[in-house]
Amino acid sequence: MLPGPTNVPNRVMNAMLAPIINHRSEDFRILYKRIIEKTQKVFETNGDIILLTTSGTGAVEASVVNLIKKGDKAIIPVNGEFSTRLADLIDSWGGTAIRITAPFGENPPIEKIEEAFEANKDVKALYAVYNETSTGTTIRYMDKLGNLCGKYGSFYIADAVSILGGDELPVDKWNIDICITASQKALAAPPGVSPISINERTKKYMKSNVSPILYLNLNRYFKYYLEHTETPFTPALPLYYAFDEALNLVLEEGMSKRIERHRICADAFYSSLSTLGLTPFAKEDARSNVIIAFNYLDGMDDKKFRTLLSEEFKVLIAGGFGNLKGKVFRIGSMGEVTRYHVMRTISSIYSAMKMLGIDANEKALSIAEEKLQNL
């Protein structure tokens, strides 16, 4: 129950047993084209799709080094570890990150973002971390950010590494120019594949303003796909097979049903864990449906609690990091998560609290059962 890598279904794991093929062959071209078309459906976009053999961080970096030039201004809401890293990356590449900050667990008011546009008429891009993995915080006005970018003529980049496939994200409808995710989160595939969607106007800009880098140079990927239906560098073939099968599972379930399943599981977690006497870290209007973050009670030791869950109940959850280390725990409620995972996790947390001598309300279990009855 980590915020990634998540549980991978057997169908997806078994897909990696396929023979290694020549990545310059017709067999590969068929596989690659098939994955691109499925990924477009999951992103809900008609734009280009590039599959990078990287972690999500590599894809986020690609979005910066192919778009931002020295002196370019980029607005970014900053409310956690990953949005902080992204802002720092923009600065280190020579751009200027205009940080719209909010306390961890909250989102800055959208009015503050528009004020930043008004004060900086030459803003080139808006970067938004849709789901802040470090705090379990989700931006709930992503669609409105697309409208703002259209109004002020800037590019709109969505870091959806830990949320795409687990919550609503119609890329074209929300006017997102670049969208980034990773295979090991809500899409429930092994780590190592990070898809990026890029619309036509952004592609046109990149082709006219070529980045000096090599491996993450997205123009090379455009060129190789157009001319050969290939990747410019050797891809991780077993991971491509796995990702292809993971996309099959997503599309078989259907995006709307998948998103509703994640919402129901999140509701069960928030309701039941609150009944245990714990408090959510994120404010109610910013809580994630895929990463559930809760504060520790006074006297709850992070290491003892999570070690007990792991060793006695075989349930893995994550702690906090940075300033939140030892203060919160985080549950990855994403990918293949369903009633079984939620009930096992909640019952284990209840039992661990009792074993640590902490009073816990057993009604939490019946509340979770009630919330999950439609799964």
Does the pTM surpass 0.85? The reply is yes
- For the chain, the domain total comes to 2
Distance CA 26, CA 31 (A): 9
Write out pLDDT tens, residues 269-291: 999 999 999 999 999 999 999 99
Same domain for 220 and 97, yes or no, is yes
Mark whether 90 and 218 lie in a shared domain: yes
199 shares its domain with 259: no
Tokens describing residue 112: 């503050």
Bin 44: left if φ > 0, else alpha if -120 < ψ < 50, else beta: left
- Same domain? For 276 and 246 the reply is no
* 247 and 292 inside one domain: no
Domain boundary among the residues 253, 270, 292 is at: 253
Are residues 260 and 246 part of one domain?
Answer: no
Cis amide prior to 191 (ω within 30 degrees): no
Q: List the one residue out of 264, 261, 297 whose CA is nearest residue 278.
A: 297
288 and 261 in a common domain? yes
Assigned token pair, 108:
């800055």
Does residue 2 form part of some domain? Answer: no
pLDDT for the residue 321: 87
**Of 253, 275, 307, which closes a domain?**
253
> What is the domain-level CATH number for residue 235?
3.40.640.10
* Tokens found for residue 50: 């590039």
Q: Does residue 207 sit in the same domain as residue 184?
A: yes
61 inside domain: yes
Domain boundary among 253, 277, 294: 253
Among 125, 210, 218, smallest CA distance to 176 is for: 125
Asked if residue 176 belongs to a domain, the reply is yes
Domain assignment present for 4: no
Give the model confidence (pLDDT) of 314-341 as tens digits.
999 999 988 899 999 999 999 999 999 9
pLDDT less than 50: residues of the chain: none
CATH of the domain at 307: 3.90.1150.10
User: What is the tens place of the pLDDT at every residue in 58-91?
Assistant: 999 999 999 999 999 999 999 999 999 999 999 9
Its domain, for residue 61, covers 10-253
Instruction: Indicate if 249 and 264 belong to the same structural domain.
Output: no
Does 128 share its domain with 55?
yes
Residues 264 and 237 in one domain: no
